[in-house]
Amino acid sequence: MTNKKIASLFNLLGKVMELQGENPFKIRSYFGAYNTIRRLPDELISLSREELLSIKGIGKNIADKIEEYKKHGKISTLERYLSQTPPGIVELLQIKGLGSKKILSIWKDLEIESPGELLYACEENRLVDLKGFGTKTQEDLRQKLIYYLDAQGKYLFGHVLHEAEELIHLLRSQFDEGKFEFINDIRRQNQIVHSIDIIGTTDGDMVMAFLEDVEFYESGEEQASFKGTTVHYEFVRPEDFEEHLFKGSASSEFLDEWNKRFKHIKMPANEDQLMREAGISFIPPESRERATAIDAFQTPGFSLVRTGDIKGVVHTHSTYSDGANSMSEMAETCRQLGYEYLVISDHSKSAFYANGLREPEVLKQMEEIDSLNQQWSDFRIFKGIESDILYDGQLDYGQEILEKFEVVIASIHSNLKMEEAKATDRIIKAVENPSTRILGHPTGRLLLSRAGYPIDHMAVIDACAEHNVVIELNANPYRLDLDWTWIPYAIEKGTLISINPDAHSTKGIEDIQFGVSAARKALVQSRHCLNTYSLEKFSEWVDNR
């Protein structure tokens, strides 16, 4: 119960009271107490009430709260204000440079209630027009939020992949006689990563000695880290390397089934040969989740979807709403990457926070798309929209406008606090709308930040199957929604999956790779994906309403 701890409580009390719009005089008194207490030479815990009151800056109100904390280990006034404030908003107070006024604006104007939601909003350029912010401030805040979230002990695969690859490249370059491979989360391409786990045939002491001099690598008594991500290195004997690699690259469910069937097969030279001896095509690590993968890869002609199978980029945003690049820039990047088509799907008019398009802007954008399409014979931009699903399940344009779009993606972005029955009914009503072609990020989750609203997955998927609505696998590493565990049921019901980057910039198009990884966990084949269709076939799908 140090002075620093007690002072921090008064600082927090002042901040949460600011967020609640309380009396400025009281707020200043608590900030004053914070500054006074943290500078005191004597510990408050040892002082009597009289001694407390003799300190300049500590009056009866402050002394009462210190006494309460000493006796009960809490301050009831603080507890009351914390109960009135979303935990994620309180958490934002820990971000340096983000004061109460800015947090209040973010909370009330953008309805953001957690660091992860705020980071996603930065990625979507939602803060640039908010009072007190701008491009530079948004980027600075984005970097701080990434650092903060990654420091919590769990990481998004999309955030740490580059660092992991950089680290293993350093090891392979330094110890070219050794073998090094990822195991666990990184090798299985899990959406949530707990650490960068590497096995190698080079002695651990030698590896640690080398890493001590590597920039951004830090070693501690309990764990080491590289660029903020926890790192584990395990030395294995060369003769045991392949067995460790195999066992460290699959779920327990997969390994249990494997051992039931093939325990008699001793580990040969590598995993590829192991599977050949078992009479199975090579199962990549990201697909070694469920036991059903073993049967799937024994099926003649079975072939997982690959990133190179994706022919078109569906679900993108431009400067018409909250994107960072123009439609022309998005299209040219797609063409350079070898894609055949692009679906522009800016936010609709209800998404005021994202500069959603009103009807006149929709018509203007459609005219520009027509003009751009005249430039190409082998590439096409399709007129799309990400239409908000309103609270009653309606889309936020009239049918006259909706019918002008070639691709309508229906998504929920507001009023996220729903019970399962309400959320499910809201989505199904939107799916039943004859203009809806794709259901966007079905649960609204943000990994490590927001669980999303609960839905009856089977009922939603059944509705999509009945009304020929494609389900999005949002490839943004924050979302990866629909979760891969529900995709097999969608495929069973005959529903197509569309692997969409939800790109708000040209760089965001690259996120398709993370969606493909998730799809491969679900054993998705190319024929199950809408945007593996060629331009000609996709155009037929668009016309076949």
Q: Give pLDDT tens digits for 54-94.
A: 888 899 999 999 999 888 888 999 999 999 999 999 999 98
CATH 1.10.150.110 residue ranges for the chain: 1-85
The helix (H) or strand (E) run that includes residue 173 is helix 157-174
Query: What is the length of the chain?
Result: 545
Q: What is the mean pLDDT of each successive set of 10 residues along the chain, which is 545 residues long?
A: 84 93 91 86 82 88 90 91 93 86 91 92 89 88 85 88 96 96 98 96 95 90 87 96 97 97 94 96 97 96 97 97 95 98 97 93 98 97 98 96 98 93 98 98 92 95 98 97 98 98 95 98 98 98 92
Contact assessment for residue 318 and residue 326, using Cβ atoms and an 8 Å cutoff: yes
Cβ neighbourhood burial of 422 (10 Å; 0-12, 13-18, 19+) = middle
- The string of pLDDT tens digits covering residues 280-336 is 999 999 999 999 999 999 999 999 999 999 999 999 999 999 998 999 999 999 999
260-286 CB burial, b ≥16 within 10 A, e <16: eeeeeeebeeebeebbeebebbebbbb
**Identity of the amino acid at 541:** W
Distances in whole angstroms, Cα of residue 403 to Cα of each of 355, 387, 435, 469, 472: 22, 12, 6, 15, 20
- Token output for 171: 């090891």
Question: CATH assignment of 307-543?
Answer: 3.20.20.140
pLDDT at residue 328, rounded to an integer: 98
- What is the pLDDT, as a whole number, of residue 472? 98
140: alpha, beta or left? (left if phi > 0; alpha if psi -120 to 50): alpha
User: What's the pLDDT score for residue 52?
Assistant: 86
**Which pLDDT does position 38 carry in this prediction?**
80
Q: What's the pLDDT score for residue 1?
A: 61
Fold for domain 1-85? DNA polymerase; domain 1 (1.10.150)
Q: Are 541 and 532 in contact (CB under 8 A)?
A: no
CA 339 vs. chain centroid, Å, equals 24
Q: Which of 271, 270, 292, 269 is nearest to 282 (CA)?
A: 271
Three-state DSSP at 473 gives strand
Where does CATH 3.20.20.140 sit in the chain?
Answer: 307-543
Among the listed residues 394, 369, 402, 545, the one whose alpha carbon sits nearest the alpha carbon of residue 470: 545
Q: Tell me, what DSSP letter sits at residue 304?
A: B
pTM for this one? 0.84
Which tens digit of pLDDT belongs to each residue from 83-129? Answer: 999 999 999 998 877 888 899 999 998 989 999 999 999 998 989 88
pLDDT of residue 44: 80
**Residue 486 CB partners (closer than 8 Å, separation 6+):** 457, 461
